A and B are shown apart, each in its own frame.
Chain A
Amino acid sequence: MKIKNIKYLLVLVLLNFGCNDEFMDRFPPDKVNDANYWKTPGDLRTFANQFYPDLITSGNWTKDNMTDNQAPANRIAFVWNEYVVPASGGNWGKSDWADIRSCNFFLQRYQTVEGDPEEIGRYVGEVKFFRAWYYFDKVRMFGDVPWLNQDLNIDSEELFIERTSRKTVVDSILQDLDDAIGQLPETSGEERLTKYAAQAFKSRVALYEGTWRKYHNLGDFEGLLQQAVGASQEVINSGMFELYTTGNPQKDYNDLFVMDDLAGNKEAIMFKRYTEDLLMHNRVRQLGEAGSGFTKDFVDTYLDINGLPISISNVYEGESVSDYLREFRNRDPRMRQTVYTPDQPYHITDDGEIQYQHAPQFDNGMTFTGYRIYKMFSPTQRDFEYQRNTIDEFIFRYAEVLLNFAEAKAELGELTQQDLDDSINLLRERAGMPGLTPNVGFVDPDWPAWEVSISALLNEIRRERRIELAAEGFRFDDLMRWSAGRLLENPETYLGALDPETAEFRVLYPGRNRVWIDKLYLYPIPSQEIALNPNISQNPGWTP
């Protein structure tokens, strides 16, 4: 190359590289975005998948540590009034609102999808169900919460709205659920949401809010209770569900919670499937090392086999220093299927050897109260292995719907013998217990100290709910909606079993007394949120 040619080369080079051309325009090669999504019903289905892991199951036993049913070795700060207002987070952080944004994101965009309207409607129904699911969670914790029906951006005015009243929010939740019920299919062979799952959830929400309004004196609760009755009835009348039973009251109830496969189990309105290697949980192992246990107050709630409370029953044998089993005799058969007794297998090795644990144990790592949780516990070696459980769990269990139905009816004063026979008495029957009648027939002198007085019938329905749904994570919500937080002040709610060494009931937290403060009915809003949006008010009793 001649020297003088260099200038041509230079010109050539410079001409070759313009400024803004394809070389400089780049897009993520491996990502989807607004432009290439929202085309087919499959897109909707894929988007809706994200919400399913958030469905809470019957394996939610740790939540009952906040209640009078169970006591953990390390006290839970909130119910001991040791919770302080957090600066941020506290279940009101950006990630806690992300799911609601996700639902709204879908509902703002799905309209461009083309395809079978029924299929599209199904996934719209799913997302509406989930928006209701997440909002119900917010309402339970905080009461009034801002209702959002679109995904926000930083210039959205909605960011600075006041908290929407819980009445409006719950009305919106129920509207979403009605939409979902209208669009979801009757059955799903693949563990997706169905119409009846949405009905079951609706009965839960409506009963929760109906009783909350009633017992927190907000008025206007009858309509909600009727909706609870209606939704429960839809499930019952479908004829698709029934309680699981083999006719063995000593076993059926316990078996129900340790089944490897709930497919085809008619008590499961919806269940969460677990499969070897693919998705497994750790519940049995956790229960083996629970560091928690049932309280004396809880075990005393079980009726005797004659249907009478221990306070007036003549078959109750009381506790014995030398015989732990004594207080289990002649009681509701569900008691021994919920609380471990040393005559039941604790561990079955792979070789088939059966091992038993003595009771009561007071070990802060294992059975803190002396009353070990045996419901949902499986003694086999395989299930005890860490994170290897494939026992399926209920998302919506038919028994809850029956309990919702009976309670809502009773709150409305409409509960008939027929209603009882269609609900509570089915549960009693499976457990081998006598039926309940509208007039109850007895008055329990050890009646819980309800703040708002209730009928004997309602008291027995609440007892039935406490027994049947024990360790499934319902009790705290129940106490809150019944305005019954003060029950936690009862020292028996943190008392354990009779200690053979001292011949006294085990005092779980020596020197500590639990005092209920009404502010605990709602969680506080993080202080930074109030600083950012002065329209947000703090919940009563909490200092900003």
Chain B
Amino acid sequence: MEKQLQMLQLFWLYPRMILVVQLLFLSFIVPAPVNGHALFFQTKVDIIITGVVLDKGGIPLPGVTVSVEGLNIGTATGLDGQYSIAVPEGSTLVFSFIGFESQRILVENQSEINITLFEDTAALDEVVVIGYGTQKRVNLTGAVSQVSSEVLANRPITNLGQGLQGMVPNLNVNVNSGAPGRGSSFNIRGTTSINGGDPLILVDGVVMDVNLINPEDIETISVLKDAASSAIYGARAAYGVILITTKDGKRSGNTVISFNSNLSLNKPTARPDYMNSMEYANWMNAANTTTNGFNYFDDETMEHIQAFYDDPENNAPVFRHSNDPSNMWRYSGNTDWTEVMLKDQYAINNYNLNISGGSDKLNYYTSAGMLKQNGLMKWFDEKYERFNILQNIEYNLNPWLEVGMKLTLNVSDQKAIPENKHGSFANLDNLYMAGDSRPIMPVYHPDGHFAGYSGNGYFTNMPAFLSQGGDRSHKTNDAWVTSTIRLTPFTGFAVNADYTYNYYNATRTHVMNEYWDYDALGPATLFPHTTPNWVRKDEQDDRYYALNIFAEYEKDFGNHYFKSMVGFNQEEKQFNSFWVRRSNLISNEIPYISVASGERNGGDAASDWAIRGGFFRLNYTYNDRYLLEINGRYDGSTRFPSEDRFQFYPSFSAGWRISNESFWGSLGNVFDEFKIRGSYGSLGNQSAVDGNYYPYIASYGTGEVSYLINGEKPIAVYPSGLVSPSLTWETVNQTDIGLDFSMIANRLTGTLDWYQRDTKNMLTRSKTMPAILGANEPQANAADLRTKGFEVQLSWKDQLSNKLNYGIDLLFSDYTSEITKFDNPNGIISDYYIGKKIGEIWGFETEGLFETDDEASDYDQSQIVGHNLLAGDIKFKDLDGKPGITRGSQTLSDHGDLRIIGNSTPRYSYGVRLNADYTNFDFSLFLQGVGQRDFYPGNTFMYAHYSSEWAVPQKFNMDYWSPENPDAYFPRPRLNGGEIGNAQTRYLQNGAYMRLKLLSVGYSLPPSLLQRIKVERLRIYFSGQNLFEFTQVESIFDPESNRVNMYPLNRSYSLGINLSF
């Protein structure tokens, strides 16, 4: 107990204490609000100023904003560049225009002020974070997209993925669950390998779980898409790299304290909508009559269901059946379980405080963030809390030595629902909506006890279970320390080294509580599924080390520019975990192993991996026109046998800044920058063996056996699976051709990329073997895949004469993937085969529903379904002309009446982003969508009730065939499955959608007002997420996640505040 208290102090109290101490400390050292806005204007005599604004070529600039600093006065230049404005004497005029550097002129006694504005070269000098360094955007030769922290700011997001969705073309973010504490998964440029493969995500150079990061601490996000830009990361970068940098203090001499807070209300985008009791009972009766010849609910039961349905005030939702003298209630209620189970909305709170600043010797950034999220369950108080502390400090000890330290602590604390009685909700994404939520069961018995199990043995009452059955807690502590050193002994040369240590600890406690369950009359019994009560504790301790050392040298020889970099990287990760479980707690209230009396069980596991690599990069630029880059990495991974362990991965890229050529001539008036570039590179991939750290070593399984030998459950050893001894890296070759331009004084910028990625020797299950093999085929380097795609991003930025700044970004991307090699000599269609498009769906073509029994009985579908066909059953179309509907031998040469009916790959992904600000108001809007996708709904919540009597149909399932409804969408009711369980055209859904991801409106208080309260900036805003969508899928499915039994995505409505001083 004492130990636990100590742990609590260490991980719970300590971060909070640090925060308090830091705040106290900083309150002393932070200087008083800085001068600069010291004067407060008294209105003086206005004078009229006129003039003309020209560019450096002497051409008049229309639309230039002319304003008075600190006052709400302004105008804009006309077509001839002329302006006129009345200003108080002694004020400062500001001339600003997008793409040009602003100028400030103090008004003394002039009456005419003519100005020449110079192009803002900062736009061209934009620096992009790349692997082990940075690069000016204009000199990039690879495909890199960078977004700044702005896209994440002021949004009710709980993790990075939600914020990045749709922001970078071909960065595909899958947010398939809204469950508290759940993150997103990422993909760059589509199907990577048939066994998946994720991009490498590095935070300040080390692998971190991005779902634990505080989005507020992020400075930039750089997405390296092609082989050339990611090759420096070698064998883990085949499917791109996402580089995240965290914020640093600015060496401005000022200290900035900012506080951001956001409160959002979250409503599910979609939720189940079940049939009511009468609809359900009628459906069940019809289905059982088709299948077994009699009604599912007998007449007596139907009378009670009808009575309660008609008049719930004067009838009970329970009754005693004359057949059944037991103490059990029979049910005749009419419960809307969605309504009973789920809240309409829940809250998420976000608070962030950061303090940053610095001098010429030192800069610092300290931040503390807190996220609190509730859940959707009415009967269980779900909770997710995350605390993030980040401290970045850099010192210049002397002109050639800089040292830095970064400390990160991510603490999360979650309380979640227990696994259900079937153990099937092990995944926290699952929403607690059990399959057997039949509307006829009431929530309570007439005596006030929960209805359910003992009342009638077929039912489980979810509220009873959730409110009494136990819980799961999940606590993580993720601590990072990075030390960096940078030596710059002479100009152009630098040596960098950093070492990172990470300790990750997770504690999971799962408690199952005993509770009383009541039948109609008698004494309560303990709910058997949670009896005896038990507690299980899991402890995971992981360690990670990373070392990077790299040296850079840069030199300009007139027209020749060279830059080189060489480095070394080594990482190691160790996993350790153990668990203990014990049943028969002395009290539900004390879920501790030491306070239980039952059998003890336990287990443990350990594994590790390491990588090691050396890398280099060479850049050469001639005359700012011709760019050349070579990358290489020699990389090794412990996951492969020693002979195949190390590989060399080269990449090349080149660019041509055509706009700098003399022949570009007058085009230069339109195009500020025009560059074409191309790259080719080869990368290795080990992600296929993710989660298996020793894929070439055949290990035996072990487990406990459900058979008592000598009165105990013994341990058994199971044979190893098959492994291929010659596993090696997958190789990914990628070609990229791109175009970057900016035009019309940098108002319009664009990037276009086309790519082709060949994944060779994909590690996959080798050729399908007859089942008598008795084991899964081993992984082997057996298949090739080709993915082709393109992405376009166009951005327009401008300022209107009335000081309205606005920007529009259009993003568009697409890809397709196809198998180019797979050993499938028989052409089995359920397997991969050459030419198979990833995502394709095989199925039958539905001709319709049989109109008459005669038509049905004359039709031969006996190889697909065994039952006799009747009117209202589904009729498949005979495509092959041969007798009967068949699947043939399910091979490419003989697939009977099957054909490819669709493809689930999302095509034509797009995003439209609008930003505007006008005086103190700002506005942004973001639309995101998928242009084409086929969605074949999973069995559950679509047609599971045709094969399982326990599945409850949805409201839209009411459109089923009956003699009165011959044009129905769904077929005749049945209980033993049949035609509807086969993929077919009739139930293929159009999965395209467009969604309003974000809408936000903000108002910043005018500086004149804020100066009085010594505040630099105070902004309040409203922000909405997922506000609406256009889609054709049934409303119980969210078009993005397409699942119903998962925690839904949310529509969020949030209010926030940004404060800095």
Residues of A at the B interface (CB closer than 8 Å) are 3, 6, 10, 13-14, 17, 19-20, 23-34, 37, 43, 46-50, 52-53, 55, 73-75, 77, 80-85, 87-88, 92-94, 96-102, 105-106, 146, 148, 151-154, 156, 158-160, 189-192, 272-275, 277-279, 285, 288-289, 346-347, 349-351, 355-358, 361-366, 381, 385-388, 507-512, 526-533, 536, 543-544
Q: Are B489's CB and A30's CB within 8 A?
A: no
Q: Are B770's CB and A529's CB within 8 A?
A: yes
Q: Are A366's CB and B828's CB within 8 A?
A: no
What's the Cα separation between A508 and B1007 when bound, in Å?
84
What's the Cα separation between A358 and B321 when bound, in Å?
12
What's the Cα separation between A385 and B949 when bound, in Å?
23
> Is B1004 engaged at the interface, CB distance under 8 Å to the other chain?
no
Nearest-neighbour CB distance to chain B for A364, whole angstroms, equals 7
> Is B711 engaged at the interface, CB distance under 8 Å to the other chain?
yes
Q: Are A279's CB and B706's CB within 8 A?
A: yes
In the complex formed, the residue of A with least CB distance to B583 is: A277
Chain B, residues 597-609, CB within 8 Å of chain A (1/0): the string is 0110000111111
Q: Find B717's partner among A10, A32, A158, A528 (CB 8 Å cutoff).
A: A32
The residues of A that contact B887 with a CB separation of less than 8 Å are 87, 527
Q: A32 with B711: in contact, given A148-B772, A536-B770 (CB under 8 Å)?
A: no
In the complex formed, the residue of A with least CB distance to B497 is: A13
Q: Are A84's CB and B863's CB within 8 A?
A: yes
Given contacts A20-B646, A24-B610, A102-B774, could you give 19 more A-B pairs where the C-beta distance is less than 8 Å? A3-B487, A26-B693, A28-B694, A29-B606, A47-B716, A49-B715, A74-B292, A84-B866, A102-B719, A153-B722, A154-B773, A159-B772, A274-B708, A349-B523, A350-B523, A351-B523, A361-B324, A528-B890, A532-B769
Q: Are A49's CB and B714's CB within 8 A?
A: yes
Q: A94 with B830: in contact, given A24-B645, A190-B710, A527-B890 (CB under 8 Å)?
A: no
12 interchain pairs, CB-CB under 8 A: A13-B549, A13-B568, A20-B636, A30-B604, A49-B709, A84-B862, A154-B777, A154-B778, A158-B772, A272-B707, A274-B708, A358-B325
In the complex formed, the residue of B with least CB distance to A351 is: B523
Nearest-neighbour CB distance to chain B for A341, whole angstroms, equals 15
The residues of A that contact B568 with a CB separation of less than 8 Å are 13-14, 17
Q: Find B774's partner among A73, A94, A512 (CB 8 Å cutoff).
A: A94
- Is the interface on chain B under 10, 10 to 19, 20 to 34, or 35 or more residues? 35 or more
Nearest-neighbour CB distance to chain B for A539, whole angstroms, equals 15
The residues of A that contact B682 with a CB separation of less than 8 Å are none
> Is B427 engaged at the interface, CB distance under 8 Å to the other chain?
no
Nearest-neighbour CB distance to chain B for A9, whole angstroms, equals 8
Q: Are A151's CB and B774's CB within 8 A?
A: yes
In the complex formed, the residue of B with least CB distance to A102 is: B719
Q: Are A29's CB and B607's CB within 8 A?
A: yes
The residues of A that contact B693 with a CB separation of less than 8 Å are 26, 28
Q: Are A544's CB and B889's CB within 8 A?
A: yes
Q: Are A154's CB and B584's CB within 8 A?
A: no
Q: Are B720's CB and A34's CB within 8 A?
A: yes
Among B156-164, B696-704, B789-797, B801-809, the stretch in contact with A: B696-704
The residues of A that contact B610 with a CB separation of less than 8 Å are 23-24, 26
The residues of A that contact B828 with a CB separation of less than 8 Å are 528, 531-532
Nearest-neighbour CB distance to chain B for A259, whole angstroms, equals 16
The residues of A that contact B608 with a CB separation of less than 8 Å are 26, 29
> Is B826 engaged at the interface, CB distance under 8 Å to the other chain?
yes
Q: Are B638's CB and A24's CB within 8 A?
A: yes
In the complex formed, the residue of B with least CB distance to A382 is: B525
Nearest-neighbour CB distance to chain B for A319, whole angstroms, equals 19
The residues of B that contact A364 with a CB separation of less than 8 Å are 288, 294, 296
In the complex formed, the residue of A with least CB distance to B714 is: A49
Q: Are A46's CB and B778's CB within 8 A?
A: no
In the complex formed, the residue of A with least CB distance to B295 is: A364
In the complex formed, the residue of B with least CB distance to A386 is: B528
Q: Are A43's CB and B326's CB within 8 A?
A: no
> Is B37 engaged at the interface, CB distance under 8 Å to the other chain?
no
Residues of B at the A interface (CB closer than 8 Å) are 288, 291-294, 296, 298, 321, 323-326, 400, 453, 457-458, 487, 489-490, 495, 522-523, 525-526, 528-529, 531-532, 549, 551, 568, 570, 572, 583-584, 598-599, 604-610, 612, 636, 638, 642, 645-646, 693-694, 697-700, 702-703, 705-720, 722, 766-778, 826, 828, 830, 862-867, 886-887, 889-891, 949, 975-976
The residues of A that contact B599 with a CB separation of less than 8 Å are 277-278
Nearest-neighbour CB distance to chain B for A331, whole angstroms, equals 25
Q: A531 with B890: in contact, given A152-B774, A153-B722 (CB under 8 Å)?
A: yes
What's the Cα separation between A153 and B770 when bound, in Å?
11
Q: A47 with B584: in contact, given A29-B608, A30-B604, A30-B607 (CB under 8 Å)?
A: no
Q: Are B890's CB and A19's CB within 8 A?
A: no
What's the Cα separation between A544 and B863 when bound, in Å?
9
- Top 8 nearest A-B pairs by Cβ distance? A82-B866, A101-B774, A386-B528, A31-B699, A50-B716, A97-B774, A52-B707, A49-B716
In the complex formed, the residue of B with least CB distance to A93 is: B771
Q: Are A46's CB and B826's CB within 8 A?
A: no
Q: Are B772's CB and A37's CB within 8 A?
A: no
What's the Cα separation between A75 and B975 when bound, in Å?
10
The residues of B that contact A23 with a CB separation of less than 8 Å are 570, 572, 610, 612
Q: Are A27's CB and B694's CB within 8 A?
A: yes
Q: Are A94's CB and B400's CB within 8 A?
A: no
What's the Cα separation between A149 and B525 when bound, in Å?
52
Q: Are B775's CB and A26's CB within 8 A?
A: no
What's the Cα separation between A362 and B299 when bound, in Å?
12
Q: A52 with B889: in contact, given A3-B400, A19-B612, A361-B324 (CB under 8 Å)?
A: no
The residues of A that contact B769 with a CB separation of less than 8 Å are 154, 159, 532
Q: Are B523's CB and A190's CB within 8 A?
A: no
The residues of B that contact A148 with a CB separation of less than 8 Å are 772
The residues of B that contact A73 with a CB separation of less than 8 Å are 292
In the complex formed, the residue of B with least CB distance to A506 is: B294
Q: Are A77's CB and B866's CB within 8 A?
A: yes
Nearest-neighbour CB distance to chain B for A437, whole angstroms, equals 42
The residues of A that contact B526 with a CB separation of less than 8 Å are 385
Nearest-neighbour CB distance to chain A for B311, whole angstroms, equals 26
The residues of B that contact A82 with a CB separation of less than 8 Å are 865-867, 976
Q: Are B716's CB and A510's CB within 8 A?
A: no
In the complex formed, the residue of B with least CB distance to A282 is: B528
What's the Cα separation between A153 and B694 when bound, in Å?
19
Q: Are B771's CB and A97's CB within 8 A?
A: yes
Q: Are A50's CB and B890's CB within 8 A?
A: no
What's the Cα separation between A346 and B325 when bound, in Å?
10
The residues of B that contact A507 with a CB separation of less than 8 Å are 293
The residues of A that contact B826 with a CB separation of less than 8 Å are 531-532
Nearest-neighbour CB distance to chain A for B539, whole angstroms, equals 15
The residues of A that contact B698 with a CB separation of less than 8 Å are 33-34
In the complex formed, the residue of B with least CB distance to A347 is: B326
The residues of B that contact A356 with a CB separation of less than 8 Å are 325
Nearest-neighbour CB distance to chain B for A332, whole angstroms, equals 28
What's the Cα separation between A203 and B978 when bound, in Å?
41
The residues of B that contact A279 with a CB separation of less than 8 Å are 706-708, 713
The residues of A that contact B705 with a CB separation of less than 8 Å are 49-50, 52-53
Nearest-neighbour CB distance to chain B for A306, whole angstroms, equals 35
Of the candidates B292, B699, B702, B864, the one having the most CB atoms from chain A within 10 angstroms of its own CB is B292
The residues of B that contact A508 with a CB separation of less than 8 Å are 292-293
Nearest-neighbour CB distance to chain B for A524, whole angstroms, equals 11
Q: Find A101's partner among B292, B636, B775 (CB 8 Å cutoff).
A: B775
The residues of A that contact B699 with a CB separation of less than 8 Å are 28, 31-33
The residues of A that contact B866 with a CB separation of less than 8 Å are 77, 80-84
Q: Find A74's partner among B298, B525, B719, B949 (CB 8 Å cutoff).
A: B949
The residues of B that contact A10 with a CB separation of less than 8 Å are 495, 549, 551
Q: Are B293's CB and A510's CB within 8 A?
A: yes
The residues of B that contact A350 with a CB separation of less than 8 Å are 523
The residues of A that contact B642 with a CB separation of less than 8 Å are 20, 24-25
Q: Find A33's partner among B607, B697, B773, B862 (CB 8 Å cutoff).
A: B697
Q: Are A532's CB and B770's CB within 8 A?
A: yes
Q: Are A190's CB and B528's CB within 8 A?
A: no
